[in-house]
Amino acid sequence: MTQPSKPTRNAASTRERILSVAQHHFKVNGYDACGLRDIAADAGVNVALINRYFGSKVELFQKAVVDALQVDDLLSGNKDTFGQDIASRMTWNDFDDDDFDPLLAFVKSLGSPAVGPLLSARLTDHLVPAMARWIGGKAAKERAALILSTLLGFDMLRRMAKLDSLQNGNRKAIVALAARTLQGYVDGMPEQGDRSRPAKSRPAKR
């Protein structure tokens, strides 16, 4: 029995355990609604240790969630099939188990005045630029931001709000529509010659 599962008196291991449990709690309840006491209890350690190792609740959140936020796994595929690939992945059956999902933690905590600014900064400084660099072209940052807003908005309604239409609805239709949207953002502007609007009248409405 030499598994290092919980070797009493090992700072590194304890730190990792706290971090892992914190990620889970932040993902489920968001920043404001989860307490250090609950995290400590789940991690099997004392509350005091959290502040000892991380300084404060905000700094714990920084290490557990903010630093973990990245878009690299979205950018590993083919640009021509990005829409299809990501749309399919978005609609996968929930793997709501233990595996950490920083994106969901992001959505659940963005509203908090305490850590919202941290998440915004991460978005501005890393996520958007990284995706913009990958897609390239004109208005790359705007298009990158639209892609992220699509993913986050979808997750917000599907997994946070547990909206049935998106969770158990017509998956094929959802994937087709979302894929078109995402691919449209990657490919760029509709220019003018798009067949989208057949030059309808469009009288000066309001």
Give the contact letters, 85-124, x = binds to a copy of itself (CB under 8 A), - = no.
x---------------------xxxxxxxx-x--xx--xx
Contacting a copy of itself within 16-75 (CB under 8 A) = 29-30, 32-33
User: Buried b / exposed e across 61-99, counting CB within 10 Å, b at 16+?
Assistant: bbbbbbebbebeebeeeeeeebbbbbbeebbeeeeeeee
Please, what is the minimum distance in Å from the beta carbon of residue 32 to a copy of itself?
4
Nearest to 70 by CA among 125, 15, 140, 137: 125
49 binds, among a copy of itself, DNA, none (CB under 5 to 8 A by kind): DNA
Task: List the structure tokens of 38.
Answer: 């609950």
CA atoms within 13 A on the CB side of 47: 5
Q: Considering beta carbons, is residue 58 or 146 the nearer one to DNA? A: 58
Q: Considering beta carbons, is residue 68 or 157 the nearer one to a copy of itself? A: 157
Q: Give yes or no for residue 150 binding a copy of itself (CB under 8 A).
A: yes
Q: Give yes or no for residue 160 binding DNA (CB under 7 A).
A: no
Piece of 47-55, 80-88, 96-104, 126-134 that binds DNA (CB under 7 A): 47-55
Nearest to 153 by CA among 198, 100, 195, 90: 90
Q: Report the C-alpha gap between 99 and 27 in whole angstroms.
A: 10
Q: Considering beta carbons, is residue 48 or 139 the nearer one to DNA? A: 48
CA atoms within 13 A on the CB side of 206: 0
Please, what is the minimum distance in Å from the beta carbon of residue 56 to DNA?
3
Q: Considering beta carbons, is residue 22 or 132 the nearer one to DNA? A: 22
Contacting DNA within 8-27 (CB under 7 A) = 8-11, 13-14
Q: What residue type is 133 in one-letter code? A: R
Please, what is the minimum distance in Å from the beta carbon of residue 27 to DNA?
15
Residue that is written with structure tokens 């971090």 in the block: 19
Task: List the structure tokens of 137.
Answer: 């072209």
Q: Considering beta carbons, is residue 41 or 114 the nearer one to a copy of itself? A: 114
The residues that touch DNA, with contacts defined as CB under 7 A, are 8-11, 13-14, 34-38, 44-49, 51-52, 55-58
